[in-house]
Amino acid sequence: MLSAGLQIVIFPLPNLYWFSWIAVAPLLGAILRARAPETLQLDGQARLLPATPWQGFVLGYVCGILWCAGTCYWVFDTMHRYGGLPIPVAVLALILFCMYVGLYQGLFGLLLAWIAGRQADQRRALVAAPFAWVAVELVRTRITAAPWELLGYSQTGNFVLTRLATLTGVYGLSWEIMLVNSVFAAAFLVARARRKWLLVAASGAAGILQAGQWIAPAPASGDHTALLVQQNIPIQANWTRDYFESTLRDLSDLSVKSAADGRSAGQADLMVWPESPSPFYTSDPLFQNAVSAMARQAQTWVVAGSIGVVAAMHNGGQGSQVFNSAALVSPQGEWVGRYDKVHLVPFGEYLPFPRLFSFAGGLTKEVGEFSRGTSRSPLDAGSTRLGVFICYESVFPDEVRQFAVHGAQVFVNISNDGWYGDSGAWKQHLQQTEMRAIENNRWLLSATNTGLTAAIDPTGRVVAQVPRKERSVLIAPYALISGTTFYTRHGDWFAYLCAIISAGALLARFVFPTRER
């Protein structure tokens, strides 16, 4: 329970990130001191035995469920308010979600108990713990797609420590945090004579590593300008024809006026409309004409969040397809490209296992039942290559880096964070989006419907923003970068290495069991 509570507060909105260095230590101690009836004599001192694999799983699972409930509590409001689920059913949905996500910490507890074994090799388990934790995070991300707030994200604002992410991705930060947690846990598992020195070492390491939070990098300068339009469209608006036309007109006028006002400081290179709950179909002539006219008047490239449609006649006769899209419009008003979202949100953009989860269909109907895109190629806006990804896609490190691999010079994330309301989820999402800028050394333009709309530099720092829940335009600086980081080129190599080491530690536990003393 203590470990779950500490893991909750290290993420926004509490954002007590300095607790990350001890947040998992109580869980490690619980797993490695779980069996009270048996004791061993080690260095002259009685010691409790580690958990059995089943006990390790239960301890980790309970911790994971509690952490998820405290971090992803906003799932209830989303399912109830926007999914149309009755309160009891929305509560059940949150419980089921927590029981699912909690399985990963359960898996970690199982691995740790297995590695320790009945021979009580706590030292081997503590050495393996950082590798096992990262291996489980890799499973969360790559296999079952539930990577919300990995441990390393708690240090996104640590400008010195995050240099590691350009090599290893966010997983390297998770490993570093777990290493310090393991030393803190070891201090309470070894003989009393060595405890003081372990505590001094762990505290010193945590202090030095955390100090990077207050060492600000040199300001990054942007030689390009984007206009990020924060539309602030209500999630549950009543879309009559009059409301549709007036909203489209207001947004177009605001965008053109902002472009005209900004010309005194230089021509804007790009204008971005975010993902939103509006029925802006790329096949709708009214929407097409309005955006084309806006691009011509503003004399700039436009990325417009929209609903992309492929008619049946262009789909081999297999029926129409609908995509969550970002359309690219030239300064001449021509529609020259489109990115279709590849990684869809389960229950929000499609319904997995429809028969099993038919009770959650209301949420999908509110948003749409979308098809998956097939390409992560950048959009060519003249001499600029834009890596555009949509909302939830920003939490997948390996997927976002592929835009940079294919030549994207600046990242653009369009998102509709209105689904989160005033919960901490919008800040959690922003924190994870910032890490994508860090890993790939790219400027990132984050255009959202309700906020926070921001320009993020390659160190992950927000250099410009507008207040949330206001219809406004951010004049966002950015620069074009063509080079690639080690992580961009090689992806999740470090996480896979941790998985291999974890498998080796597990194998060693069975092949070379430690004898009791």
pLDDT given for residue 369 in this prediction:
78
Domain ranges of the chain: 2-216+492-511, 224-478
- The single-letter DSSP state of residue 72 is S
- Dihedral sign (CA 462, 466, 472, 476): negative
**In tens digits, what is the pLDDT along the chain, a chain of 517 residues?**
999 999 999 999 999 999 999 999 999 999 998 886 554 555 545 567 889 999 999 999 999 999 999 999 999 988 888 778 899 999 999 999 999 999 999 999 999 999 988 666 788 899 999 999 999 999 999 887 789 999 999 999 999 999 999 999 999 999 999 999 999 999 988 767 788 899 999 999 999 999 999 888 887 889 999 999 999 999 888 899 999 999 999 999 999 999 988 664 567 999 999 999 999 999 999 999 999 999 999 999 999 999 998 864 445 556 678 999 999 999 999 999 999 999 988 777 766 655 555 555 555 554 457 899 999 999 999 999 999 999 999 999 999 999 999 999 999 999 998 888 888 999 999 999 999 999 999 999 999 999 899 999 999 999 999 999 999 999 999 999 999 999 999 999 999 999 999 999 998 877 766 554 3
pLDDT given for residue 39 in this prediction:
47
CA dihedral 168, 171, 174, 175 (to 10 degrees): -60
> What CATH number does the domain located at 224-478 have?
3.60.110.10
Rounded to whole angstroms, the Cα distance separating 117 from 129 reads 14
> CA angle at residue 134 from 404 to 512, to 5 degrees?
135
Rounded to whole angstroms, the Cα distance separating 214 from 441 reads 20
Rounded to whole angstroms, the Cα distance separating 351 from 368 reads 10
pLDDT given for residue 388 in this prediction:
98
Q: Which residues are catalytic?
A: 275, 341, 391
CA dihedral 174, 178, 181, 187 (to 10 degrees): -160
Element containing residue 226 per DSSP (H, E) = strand 224-230
CA dihedral 346, 352, 354, 360 (to 10 degrees): -20
Phi, psi at 42, each rounded to 5°: -130, 120
CA dihedral 301, 302, 308, 312 (to 10 degrees): -30
Q: Which of 142, 146, 176, 144 is nearest to 158 (CA)?
A: 176
Q: Alpha helix locations (H) across 139-284?
A: 165-168, 170-187, 192-210, 241-262
232 phi-psi bin (left φ>0, alpha ψ -120 to 50, beta other) = left
- DSSP state letters, 274-336: PP-SS--BTT-HHHHHHHHHHHHHHTSEEEEEEEEEE-GGGTTTS--EEEEEEEEE-TTS-EE
pLDDT given for residue 516 in this prediction:
45
